[in-house]
Structure 1
Amino acid sequence: MGTHASPPHAPGDDELFADGGANGRLMAAFDWSTTPVGPVGEWPAGLRHAVRTVLVSRFPMILAWGPRYTQFYNDAYATLIGTKHPAAIGEDLRVTLAEGWAALQGPVEHAMATREASWIPQLLLLLERAGYREETYFTVSHAPAYGDDGRVAGMHAVCTEVTRQVLAERRQGLLHDVASSSGGLADETATVTAMTAALAGGALDVPFAAVYLAGPDGLRRAAVVGCTAESLPGTAAGPGGLLPPAVAALGVHGGPFGDPVTEAVVLPLDGADGEHLGALVLGVNPNRALDGEYRSFHELLAGQFTAAVRNARAYAEERARAEALAELDRAKTAFFANVSHELRTPLTLLLGPLSDTLAAAGTALPDDVRGSLTLALRNGQRLQRLVNDLLEFVSIEAGRASAVRVETDVPALTAELAGVLRAAAERAGLRLSVDCPPLDRPAYVDPRMWEKIVLNLVANAVKYTFVGGIDVSLRADGDSLVLTVADTGVGIPRAELPLLFERFHRGSGTAARSREGTGLGLALARELVTLHGGEVTATSEPGVGSTFTVRVPFGEPDAPAGGPAVPSPSARGGVVTPWDDAVDAAGSRPAAAGTGASVLVVDDNADMRAYLTRLLSPLFTVWTATNGQEALAAVAAARPDVVLTDVMMPALDGFGLLRALRVDPALRDVPVVMLTARAGQEAAVEGFDAGVDDYLAKPFESAELVARLRAVLERAAGRAAGAAASARPGTPPPPAPVAPDPDAAPPAPPHPRQPSSAPPAVPARAVVRRHWRLPSAASSVPVLRRRLRTLFAEAGVDGDRAYDLVLAVCEAATNAIEHAQDPAEPVVDVHVEVAGGLVEVAVRDHGRWRERVPSMDRGRGSMLMSAVGEVTATPGPSGTTVVIRSGGPPLPTDGALR
């Protein structure tokens, strides 16, 4: 390089640094005479042009001139070298970047020697620009710088720092690897161990790591990577005890240059709901500052571990729940199996004597006795069939059932089984077509299982078909038998089809001949078909019909045939179709002498209708209906004195029938008595709140049913007489109803219904009597309050006085509920009589009195009751009666409660 003056076209001294910004001003003030390039005035034109080009560029650029690599750089480059600026101005590049010169020397010298520019993306450089040995990355291009004589006089470098991009990509990849490592692992320890192992692939950012999981005794070490597990505590009470006083004592080296790790962070693993799951310990790269981006990376890692632990624990909890449910299901299966086995013994002792008696002396028995025994036998066989189905289903679930295939004339057996239901179908006005031609090869099935498959499908078709017919066909299709049962019934909604063969599933809102059934029929049919190695499918269109298709292989024999297969005794039509009215003694029966009352029996079970008809016809005129809609039509044709109805029925159930009667002004006072299989106080309260006159749970005693019907009829007659008397001014109140025949079974206390709408007030001289029997529970008090308000409004009691009476009576009822010990009956009886301005209420429990203790005393009961009127309490061995009397002397009463 020369020292001659620059040619006229080179930048002058006054303009050389003018456009160089802050660095240009620093360089203009710099004493260049102390450097190998000498004073500015002596610089050659090539150097002047090169310096000015570097200074005016906004891209980071550096010029190293001469054999001593004297450096010139612009403002953009100054920010890259940090604290090395401005001391690097005029300094030897090899000295300024001494820590990184090993990486730079080769590309720089190559560019100057060969005059070929280099391009190095993401070049790793060790810089000490921020007070520590820093890991940095640059994309760099080195090119030769030419002197005035055309020879290489230096080096131009253009560079950009890409450290943030490199670190972001690297950390993102590590996050992905960690997240992927937890897939498919359920145990939380195994999950965090796999995730921690994945951190080994990111040692530059995580030199070492440890995961601690929270337990009852604090934190326990679950996984470690990058250091020995023993160098970290096995347990700790909290995050503060997870690191030694000096992290360097762990002896871990990290970063791209292998420097000692002296920093680590501890991050809590906390769920969104505040649940403490554990802690994550992460070593810090010694060649990177713990800045905001590094902390965000740590937080993302902690979030991944938190989510994984939460998922693992949720999975474990779900698995525990599933195991508990499976255990419960196994216990339920065992219970059903035990109960089914236990039921078989009494069933055998019931069915055996009944069958023997009918076989030995059936023709000699009176007709009514033979009918009762036949009814009992048929329903015993039905119960036996249900028990057998349940036991078989339990055996299938337990994996103990298998099909024993024998050579069977499947077409003949199928036709005979379908024929069992032909009479039921014809009585329902349906056509039953059976097309089962002989097969050209032997078929092997389990006859008893095949019987249940055919009967369940055909009986189901009869149950849900009202118009048209049912087609049963059997054909060979290759190596399979194909049974098809098609009907023109109500069809199955699309949403119900996937659930059709689920156990206990029963379609809601679908019209049927009966609501009877366990929901096991189709599920059992599918299981039995599966045991034969086949499948059953269903297609349906609402309003058009359904088709069930069973496909089973011809099979191979499991045992030798024992003779022609015939339907079992439990395949009889009355057993399979309990709603069939073949045994229903429909129509009226002569009433007993002197009895003009008529009873409408409503039940979808044919045997129950026949039984009730036979039971009640000596005393009443009995009509029957199979559901609520038929009952409404019968009531419209001829009004009965009382309706005796089941609750669960097709078309219109018992509650629907009750509501229809109560909203009809001409029929709202027809007494209604409900029979139901739903037992319990809640069911009774629901019935009484709906306005039923009496409610009887199945099974019931015949004498109790007769007594309750008599009580309801007498109460209805008393209401009618009172209404007639109130219509004639000056007529004295009617006498109390005559008690039932003492020789008959004692009736249960009557249960009046609650009117659906408030009737007009009763004249002052009329006597209004009500009796309610309520469950001995706090939930009965609101029911009693509503009924009292309605009654006092009906009787014309003054509003303020009625309010006081309601408070007093409800307080007496609360006392009866709270203080009756060991009640003979868990009920409270409330008897109310109102005559003009006189009101008398008796509240009775059925237990021994429990003395009040201070903690139970609300301090207002006696005051409330005595403020209303005269109060008397009569305790007794079978219960206590509290009488509240307001407005005068005792009223005439039958003394039933007092």
Structure 2
Amino acid sequence: MAPDPAAGTEARGVGAPAPADVFTGGSENGRLMAAVDWASTPVGPVETWPASLRYAIRTVLASRFPMILTWGPEYTQFYNDAYATLIGAKHPGALGDDLRITLAEGWAALQEPVERAMATREASWIPQLLLLLERAGYREETYFTVSHAPAFGDSGEVAGMHAVCTEVTRQVVAERRQALLHDVSTAAGRREDERDLAVRVCAALAEDPLDVPFAAVYLTGQGGPGLERVAATGVDAGRLPASAADVGELGGVAADGLGVAGGPFGDPVTDAVVLPLTGGTGREPVGALLVGVSPARRLDAEYRTFHELLAGQLAGAVVDARAYASERARAEALAELDRAKTTFFANVSHELRTPLTLLLGPISDALAESGTDLPPGVHDQLTMALRNGQRLQRLVNDLLEFVSIEAGRTAPVRVATDLAADTAELAGVLRAAAERAGLTLTVDCPPLGRPAAVDPRMWEKIVLNLVANAVKYTFVGSISVTLTAEDDEVVLRVSDTGVGVPAAELPALFDRFHRVVDSPARSREGTGLGLALVRELTELHGGTVAVESRPGVGSTFTVRLPFGEPDTDLPPPPSTAPVRAAALTPWDDAPARRSSGADGAGPLGTVLVVDDNADMRAYLTRLLAPWWTVLTAADGEQALRDVRTSRPDIVLTDVMMPGLDGFALLKALRSDPVTASVPVVMLTARAGQEAAVEGFDAGVDDYLPKPFESAELLARLRAVLERTRGRRETASLSGAPAVPRPLSPPRPRAGEPADLPLVPGRAPAQEAPDAGTVSETLRFPSTSASIPPLRRRLRSLLAEAGLDDDRAYDLVLATCEAATNAIEHAQSPTEPVITVRVVVRDDAVEISVHDTGQWRERTSSMDRGRGSMLMSAFADITVVPGPAGTTVTIRSPRPEG
């Protein structure tokens, strides 16, 4: 008997979707489920399904949120397109299958919330539920936020389970990795020891074995070539290579043989990656990071990016550690150098004290015992020698003071002192120097009401240094010295209307050897120790020193000392300030003057002496006055004005001076057509070949380092004057301007000293040069005064030959060094000349320097000390000694093009 259609409709429920309409709606899963043979499943054919199931399926398929429905005791599952993507390769086979079978690997986590929701009819909410899925061919670590709710049948009974879920795996993993990167950064910190850094980073990595099952850090420069393992975590370090030649060699480590388990499910780790630790683009790696790959996560782009960030953090930390260690090593080296320098100064200072004593003692005795009987000139010279010896003694004492302070051997011996009276007396020592400088010195030191406990010797240095410093840097206005009592402190203020100090220089003003760059001053002399010593001595008393200054307005130095308690009842030692006053003002000036006993120009001419040291000006005046009319200037600016008004025959200038120094003066003279031809001779404390080269390149006519012999200075001045007059006479005959081209020195004038006699005879015969070859032979007297004209002629000749400036400079330097050696070392020459032959060919330049004497015995024919090294640096050098003299040949290839 056929079934009654009406009865079937009643059973299915009025208005329920028809079987053909259950899977409609256009979803991919709807089409797949329509093709399933549901009759072979526990839920039976679609025609027998209750209305509640049909409605539930239509609701699931219509949703774009991941949803799954299980029905009946066999957990037959229905799900939508969004859920299908979550189970990967298990779709579409899971349609109509038992959920417990489809998600067998994750059922242990799902069973309890599913059954609880169905039993209690209460929905669950589980955020970030860890599930083990095998949807991609491996046991995958996944996280889901899921809600399970009961699914009801037509009569209200619980017929199944309805779940809504979303995967949050990427979010969970990303947050975990971000936290690990932060922990690694914190562990690295700013560490100097890179090994300790690696150990701490590995300890941080050990906190996240899900992303880093194991790790090992390899670093370069650990006592050998290549990479060395310095730290590891999560693995038996003995199974890893202790070293590797490079990053590529570490890539051969077999992770599956290390016996490491990883991931949340304890699966074997079979893969690892090696990441170079580089400090930036183009830099050599500082190490490598070997990390294991979680077996529960695919090594995708995000995982690789995480590894790269991890390696980048570690590389940056290692680079910073090495930079920090390098800086510390550099600081230690500088500190050691500073200690060595201080020790050297201490040793030298001690050694200087004995000869200083033997110099100053006899001079003082001679002045004291026979001063009135000495000729005025001798008395003045001895007084000047004593004064400058005392300046040197002050420098020695200051250096020793610093050495003692650094070594902790200096402590003030405080005695009860009438500080007001002592300060007024000390400041008054420099009153004469201030007045000669046109300054007003005001001293306001009223009685303090009670004695102050200070070390008188140290207080003397504090006051004298501050007042002398004010006089040195003040050109117009006044200086005031005040002493007051404020609460329980003694306050000394030294104010001036001087040049002031820029704000950027103030923090370093009390540092040792610090000088304010380009600051106008009465003298460039000084060691940079005065203000540093003021600070050190003030701090030894428990006080402070500060400065307020504005450029162009002036400065105020403020010293604050506690009144304190005396350390001894002994009276204070007598002050030595009167003896030291001259030592503090080497610039103390006298007006420019002509030498006495000369009407008009002297027998040789007029010389302008430019030096910021008054004693040096006085010494040079006495030295030159018998032969020259001497004018003096205290700085370059005054000298420039004097040259333009008085037109001296020669300018004799120091190099280091306040304001316009020697080089700036020379440049100003050479740039003005009116003064360009005035010869200039430089005197300087900067000795050495490099300093001389700098002077000659600037256009100086001669260059003499201090200390010098008076006879040599007189001879050089005569030689410069003679050359200048020779050029002028030649220019007047030809009608052309004077050009300094002394191939052979000019003849001396009648009645004048002959410093550079003409070289008699002809130059040695020379081979005819090839076509395109420049060749010339030069002969000069065997004296040091021949070097400047040789230098100028060589430069002109090599320039004419088209040689580039750098090669010409090197060859001129080497040739002049060879000529200097020939002049200094040739003994008993048969002819007091040197012969220089220059041959410039297309392929090479060859210069020979020949002398006619016998060289001193040397340990080797090529042992020429620094000169030989200097020449060899520029060209090939050969030396041929012989009975007729020695020939040094300098040969340099000429680059093509």
Written as runs of structure 1 = structure 2, the 5 A alignment for 1:527-538 is 527-538=536-547
Report the secondary structure of 1:121's partner residue.
strand
1:515 aligns with 2:524: yes
Counterpart residue identity of residue 538, structure 2: V
1:385 to 368, 387, 394: 394
What is the RMSD computed on CA atoms of the aligned residues?
4.0
Kindly provide the CA deviation profile for residues 456-480 of structure 1, in whole angstroms up to 9, marking residues without a partner as x: 1111111111111001111112222
**Residue 739 of structure 2: aligned partner:** none
Distance apart, 1:564 and its partner CA: 5.3
- Once residues 181 and 405 of structure 2 are traced to their aligned partners in structure 1, the CA distance between those partners, rounded to angstroms, is 49
Distance 1:280 1:475, change over 3 A: same
Counterpart residue identity of residue 680, structure 1: G
Counterpart residue identity of residue 613, structure 2: N
**Residue 824 of structure 2: aligned partner:** 825
**Residue 442 of structure 1: aligned partner:** 451
**Residue 173 of structure 1: aligned partner:** 179
Kindly provide the CA deviation profile for residues 55-77 of structure 1, in whole angstroms up to 9, marking residues without a partner as x: 12111110111222211101111
1:738 aligns with 2:748: yes
Distance apart, 1:495 and its partner CA: 2.1
**Residue 333 of structure 1: aligned partner:** 342
Report the secondary structure of 2:289's partner residue.
strand
**Residue 473 of structure 1: aligned partner:** 482
Report the secondary structure of 1:131's partner residue.
coil
Q: How many residues align?
A: 820
1:115 aligns with 2:121: yes
- Once residues 283 and 776 of structure 1 are traced to their aligned partners in structure 2, the CA distance between those partners, rounded to angstroms, is 78
Q: Is the 8 A contact 1:5 1:41 kept in 2?
A: no
Distance 1:659 1:183, change over 3 A: closer
Distance apart, 1:369 and its partner CA: 0.7
Q: Is the 8 A contact 1:262 1:284 kept in 2?
A: yes
Distance 1:53 1:774, change over 3 A: farther
Q: Is the 8 A contact 2:484 2:490 kept in 1?
A: yes
Kindly provide the CA deviation profile for residues 721-758 of structure 1, in whole angstroms up to 9, marking residues without a partner as x: 44444469xxxxx995337989x7967999xxxxxxxx
1:371 to 358, 380, 390: 380
Counterpart residue identity of residue 377, structure 1: L
Q: Is the 8 A contact 1:232 1:244 kept in 2?
A: no
Distance apart, 1:262 and its partner CA: 3.5
Q: Is the 8 A contact 2:190 2:320 kept in 1?
A: no
- Once residues 318 and 698 of structure 2 are traced to their aligned partners in structure 1, the CA distance between those partners, rounded to angstroms, is 53
- Once residues 634 and 115 of structure 1 are traced to their aligned partners in structure 2, the CA distance between those partners, rounded to angstroms, is 113
Distance apart, 1:514 and its partner CA: 1.4
Distance apart, 1:640 and its partner CA: 2.3
- Once residues 280 and 369 of structure 1 are traced to their aligned partners in structure 2, the CA distance between those partners, rounded to angstroms, is 81
2:597 to 573, 582, 590: 590
Distance apart, 1:374 and its partner CA: 0.4
Distance apart, 1:384 and its partner CA: 0.7
Q: Is the 8 A contact 2:484 2:491 kept in 1?
A: yes
Q: Is the 8 A contact 2:413 2:567 kept in 1?
A: yes
- Once residues 789 and 304 of structure 2 are traced to their aligned partners in structure 1, the CA distance between those partners, rounded to angstroms, is 63
- Once residues 861 and 194 of structure 1 are traced to their aligned partners in structure 2, the CA distance between those partners, rounded to angstroms, is 59
Distance 1:235 1:843, change over 3 A: closer
Distance 1:45 1:391, change over 3 A: same
Report the secondary structure of 1:201's partner residue.
coil
Counterpart residue identity of residue 266, structure 2: G
Q: Percent identity?
A: 65
Distance 1:784 1:194, change over 3 A: farther
Q: Is the 8 A contact 1:775 1:826 kept in 2?
A: no
Distance 1:614 1:241, change over 3 A: closer
1:602 to 599, 610, 620: 610
1:62 aligns with 2:60: no
2:36 to 26, 30, 34: 30
The worse-fitting range, judged by mean Cα deviation, of 546-555 and 679-688 is: 679-688
Report the secondary structure of 2:84's partner residue.
helix
Counterpart residue identity of residue 85, structure 2: T
Kindly provide the CA deviation profile for residues 43-91 of structure 1, in whole angstroms up to 9, marking residues without a partner as x: 1111111001111211111011122221110111111111222221111
Distance apart, 1:143 and its partner CA: 1.9
Counterpart residue identity of residue 73, structure 1: Y
2:417 to 402, 408, 429: 408
Distance 1:658 1:235, change over 3 A: closer
1:633 to 634, 638, 641: 641
Distance apart, 1:818 and its partner CA: 8.7
The worse-fitting range, judged by mean Cα deviation, of 810-819 and 107-116 is: 810-819
- Once residues 666 and 549 of structure 2 are traced to their aligned partners in structure 1, the CA distance between those partners, rounded to angstroms, is 34
Counterpart residue identity of residue 825, structure 1: E
Distance apart, 1:778 and its partner CA: 13
Q: Is the 8 A contact 1:821 1:847 kept in 2?
A: no
Give the structure-1-normalised TM-score.
0.83
- Once residues 631 and 675 of structure 1 are traced to their aligned partners in structure 2, the CA distance between those partners, rounded to angstroms, is 15
**Residue 359 of structure 2: aligned partner:** 350
Distance apart, 1:820 and its partner CA: 7.0
- Once residues 876 and 546 of structure 1 are traced to their aligned partners in structure 2, the CA distance between those partners, rounded to angstroms, is 70
Written as runs of structure 1 = structure 2, the 5 A alignment for 1:89-100 is 89-100=95-106
Kindly provide the CA deviation profile for residues 518-554 of structure 1, in whole angstroms up to 9, marking residues without a partner as x: 1222122212212222221111111111111111222
Written as runs of structure 1 = structure 2, the 5 A alignment for 1:1-16 is 5-16=11-22
Distance apart, 1:824 and its partner CA: 4.5
- Once residues 196 and 389 of structure 1 are traced to their aligned partners in structure 2, the CA distance between those partners, rounded to angstroms, is 54
Counterpart residue identity of residue 137, structure 1: Y
Written as runs of structure 1 = structure 2, the 5 A alignment for 1:522-601 is 522-563=531-572, 565-568=574-577, 570-572=579-581, 574-581=582-589, 586-591=593-598, 595=603, 597-601=605-609
1:210 aligns with 2:219: no
- Once residues 77 and 576 of structure 2 are traced to their aligned partners in structure 1, the CA distance between those partners, rounded to angstroms, is 109
- Once residues 347 and 852 of structure 2 are traced to their aligned partners in structure 1, the CA distance between those partners, rounded to angstroms, is 37
- Once residues 183 and 152 of structure 1 are traced to their aligned partners in structure 2, the CA distance between those partners, rounded to angstroms, is 59
Written as runs of structure 1 = structure 2, the 5 A alignment for 1:281-292 is 281-292=290-301
Counterpart residue identity of residue 347, structure 1: L
The worse-fitting range, judged by mean Cα deviation, of 331-340 and 672-681 is: 672-681
1:675 aligns with 2:683: yes
The worse-fitting range, judged by mean Cα deviation, of 75-84 and 841-850 is: 841-850
Report the secondary structure of 1:699's partner residue.
coil
- Once residues 595 and 299 of structure 1 are traced to their aligned partners in structure 2, the CA distance between those partners, rounded to angstroms, is 85
**Residue 759 of structure 1: aligned partner:** none
**Residue 492 of structure 1: aligned partner:** 501
Kindly provide the CA deviation profile for residues 635-656 of structure 1, in whole angstroms up to 9, marking residues without a partner as x: 3443323222222222322233
Counterpart residue identity of residue 591, structure 1: A
- Once residues 775 and 747 of structure 1 are traced to their aligned partners in structure 2, the CA distance between those partners, rounded to angstroms, is 10
Distance 1:394 1:124, change over 3 A: same
- Once residues 94 and 599 of structure 1 are traced to their aligned partners in structure 2, the CA distance between those partners, rounded to angstroms, is 114
- Once residues 686 and 829 of structure 1 are traced to their aligned partners in structure 2, the CA distance between those partners, rounded to angstroms, is 24
Distance 1:122 1:860, change over 3 A: closer
- Once residues 322 and 745 of structure 2 are traced to their aligned partners in structure 1, the CA distance between those partners, rounded to angstroms, is 74
**Residue 279 of structure 1: aligned partner:** 288
- Once residues 315 and 238 of structure 1 are traced to their aligned partners in structure 2, the CA distance between those partners, rounded to angstroms, is 25
Distance apart, 1:611 and its partner CA: 0.9
**Residue 191 of structure 1: aligned partner:** 197
- Once residues 348 and 875 of structure 2 are traced to their aligned partners in structure 1, the CA distance between those partners, rounded to angstroms, is 51
Q: Is the 8 A contact 1:535 1:552 kept in 2?
A: yes
Report the secondary structure of 1:415's partner residue.
helix
Unaligned runs of 5+ in 1: 729-733, 751-768, 791-798, 833-840, 863-872, 883-898
Q: Is the 8 A contact 1:411 1:437 kept in 2?
A: yes
Distance apart, 1:301 and its partner CA: 2.0
Unaligned runs of 5+ in 2: 1-7, 737-743, 760-777, 827-832, 838-846, 856-860, 863-871, 890-897
Counterpart residue identity of residue 540, structure 1: S
Written as runs of structure 1 = structure 2, the 5 A alignment for 1:133-172 is 133-172=139-178
**Residue 260 of structure 2: aligned partner:** 252
Q: Is the 8 A contact 2:745 2:758 kept in 1?
A: no
Report the secondary structure of 1:81's partner residue.
helix
Distance 1:35 1:594, change over 3 A: closer
